[in-house]
Structure 1
Amino acid sequence: MPHDLNHLDAALAAYPRVTLLEGPTPIQKLTRLSQLPELNGCNVYVKRDDLTGLGGGGNKLRKLEFLLGQALAENADTLVTWGGFQSNHARLTAAVAARHGLACELILTPSAVRTDNDFCHNGNVLLDDLFGASVHRLARGVTADAYAAELVTKLRELGKKPFVMPLGGSSPRGALGYAACAAEILHQADALDLRFERIIVPNGSAGTHSGLLAGMTLARSATQITGYSVLADEQQALATTLEKTRQTLHLLDPAAALVESAINVDGSHRGDAYGAPTEAMLEAVRLLASKEGLLTDPVYGGKAFAGLLAAIRRGEFPQGSNLLFVMTGGLPGLFAYRSAFV
């Protein structure tokens, strides 16, 4: 079935958007890694969304293009969001605010599994401060969204115009960024004369997975997407992804239908909790670095890449399969997880 990229492009054009990327991110083949006997003749490619530039790069910038478009359309002067201490979304929201002359309020919550000095003060936390954000560190047990609601009320009383960025940028409006990425991937695959049998992504707040699937659905692409859950357990992640994909697809075309069986979520590499290191993640990060000189983060990409490697090693993909792994960035997180790698 031919792609219907015109339909997708026209649907995306209906929403305000601020360009934050330098252009399409490259698709590169992992040539040395693909030659390993354990990869059973599969061709592994990466979509380099770690190379998005602003603020240290990462997938959240695609979501922020549409969220910032909405914020500026509403004449906002302050961006408010929340996440964990090592939130990539918080870091990039701060960078985007700095680029556009907006104030930024970040609400950061402690981790249930890591309390070491590197985690609490290095990586993304260091960069939040450099970008000039006002950082609110919550005590354990304080609810971030309730704190955010109170903060927004105070800002409005001061005459500010706050705009709340959703957790991970992963509202249906934010997920439009990855519907746009779906179109970008299809254009690039056509130019490379490639057909990807599977696209693999980490699934945290589900916006990246949902946006890609909504975009592929509207473009009538047969490419399957697998998301490796790193935040919620498999069933909860599946339910969230299904609902968010439906909502995003509705924004694009209220008449479009989603086939529920297209949602593919694998929770086998989450580990004990969100952000908890796993042996498979450590091995995957080291393998990608040592064979290809590429760095992926320990919370999202490392676990999803570990899942991809395990699936290939189990023989789930026929020899010659073209597999595309979306590198979502989050590199500063490596420095927050130094003790896990030593």
Structure 2
Amino acid sequence: MQGLFSFAQGSRKITLPRVRLALTPTPLEPLETTSDRLGFFLSAKRDDLTGLALGGNKIRQLEYYFGAAREQGATTMLVTGAIQSNYTRAVAAACARLGMRCHVQLENRVPGMSSDAYRDSGNVLLTRLYGAEVTYFAGADDEVAADKAIHAVANRLRNAGEVPYHISLKADSAPLGSVGYLHAAQELLEQQPDTTHVVLASGSGQTQAGLLTGLRMLGSGARVFGVSVRRAPGAQRARVLSYCHTLSAMLGVEPVVQESDVQVFEGNLNTGYGLPEDGLMDFLLGAMRREGLLLDPVYTGKAFAAIPRLKEQGYFSPQARVVFLHTGGLPALFAYGPEFLSRLNRIDA
């Protein structure tokens, strides 16, 4: 159950409880067609292929949350997220594999999405198939209130004799999920030591914080560009930096990430979190048909769409070696089926 991360300094090691869930290392795949179109080398780090529950970045993150939960004797895992949350689906799957109970609280963070497909298919369907108990948070998009509601559920379970473990993704929570991306940084540098940039979707911020911290700990100056899919870039930048500093403190090392290292860009151009803007949907269809690369309109699609924008703004030279971190989220494609079909019916008519 124990996981070990060896630091670049050689003698410094730390052991954290870990439950192996992900199939790693994930491949690094050249995107030749898009590279030719953009004029620099682009590849995809395929963390959509981490295995469990159709993969994604959450599988790496959960190894350390479940490690801590098992060490504490937990019998039930609790997590809250949006209706089409990848995190809740991954937690439900890990619980099924490990013989634990799971309680998922879903929040309606995207009021504009009300189709049956959005509410019942994709991640919601998989979460239920894995046997999770699902409840709905009635309030608005409010992290503090949602956290309070899930704590009430934890108290109810505790009174019933369960040992609950709550995975909190609030900004002030311990970023155990970031530890999984220290390993991903190590993998990436072994696969492509001359990586100059990494582009990824930045949601909770833990993936960006872990990858950036890992790269700096291993001596890489590669720039990590987070594309914020939920918050304003300034707020997301502060969140990621806080996670980086907390992660260093958890590991017992001096902070290696400077404020200037944390770079975050707007991902919700002309739209909001979880909303399928027409231009984005057209872009995703083009990317799928050129590269055979499946992208969702909430996370990976917005991050991938930022790459040509960043190129136009001068961030990538012809000598750049850019990696797109594909963080998964593929079940959400089915939740947005009606929106994709509407585009296809017009385009293919």
TM over 0.5: yes
Q: Read off the aligned partner of 1:69 and give its amino acid letter.
A: G
Q: Flag the 1:12–1:26 CA change in 2: closer, same or farther, 3 A.
A: farther
Q: Flag the 1:33–1:114 CA change in 2: closer, same or farther, 3 A.
A: same
**2:24 matched to 1:26?**
no
| Structure 2 gap segments, 5+ residues each | 343-349
Maintained 8 Å contact 1:201/1:209: yes
Maintained 8 Å contact 1:230/1:270: no
**2:186 matched to 1:183?**
yes
Q: Flag the 1:335–1:257 CA change in 2: closer, same or farther, 3 A.
A: same
2:262 corresponding residue in structure 1 = 263
Aligned residues: 332
The alignment-based identity, stated in percent, is: 34
Instruction: Describe how 1:17-56 pairs up with structure 2 within 5 A.
Output: 17-36=18-37, 39=38, 41-56=39-54
RMSD: 2.1
* Higher RCO by CA contacts (8 Å cutoff, separation 6 or greater): 1
Cα separation, 2, equivalents of 1:271 and 1:56: 30
TM-score with structure 2 setting the length: 0.90
Cα separation, 2, equivalents of 1:242 and 1:121: 35
Instruction: Describe how 1:37-116 pairs up with structure 2 within 5 A.
Output: 39=38, 41-110=39-108, 111-116=110-115
In structure 2, the residue corresponding to 1:167 is in which secondary structure? coil
1:162 corresponding residue in structure 2 = 164
Q: Flag the 1:268–1:59 CA change in 2: closer, same or farther, 3 A.
A: closer
TM-score with structure 1 setting the length: 0.91
Please list the CA deviations of residues 173-197 of structure 1 after superposition, one character each: whole Å capped at 9, or x if unmatched. Answer: 111111221111112224xxxx111
Please list the CA deviations of residues 188-231 of structure 1 after superposition, one character each: whole Å capped at 9, or x if unmatched. Answer: 224xxxx1110001011101111111111211211110000001
Q: Read off the aligned partner of 2:148 and give its amino acid letter.
A: A
Instruction: Describe how 1:186-335 pairs up with structure 2 within 5 A.
Output: 186-190=189-193, 195-269=194-268, 271-335=270-334
Q: Read off the aligned partner of 1:157 and give its amino acid letter.
A: N
Q: Read off the aligned partner of 2:64 and give its amino acid letter.
A: F
User: Which has the larger displacement, 320-329 or 97-106?
Assistant: 320-329
Cα separation, 1, equivalents of 2:90 and 2:11: 27
Maintained 8 Å contact 2:229/2:266: yes
Q: Flag the 1:5–1:185 CA change in 2: closer, same or farther, 3 A.
A: farther
Cα separation, 2, equivalents of 1:10 and 1:331: 40
Please list the CA deviations of residues 113-157 of structure 1 after superposition, one character each: whole Å capped at 9, or x if unmatched. Answer: 311211111111111110000000222448321111111111111
Q: Flag the 1:329–1:63 CA change in 2: closer, same or farther, 3 A.
A: same
Maintained 8 Å contact 1:229/1:266: yes
| Structure 1 gap segments, 5+ residues each | none
